[in-house]
Structure 1
Amino acid sequence: MIPFYLLLIFLILWHYKDKVLPAIQNFISGTTTRFKYPFWAYLLLPVFGLFLELVGGIPIALVNLIKQLIK
Structure 2
Amino acid sequence: MPEVLWNYRLYLAPFGPSVAAFVLTYLNGEKEGVLKLLKKGIDYRFPKVWYLPVFLLMPFITGFPFATHVEWRKPL
TM-score of the superposed pair, with normalisation by structure 2: 0.39
TM-score of the superposed pair, with normalisation by structure 1: 0.41
Tell me which protein shows more helix as a share of its residues: 2
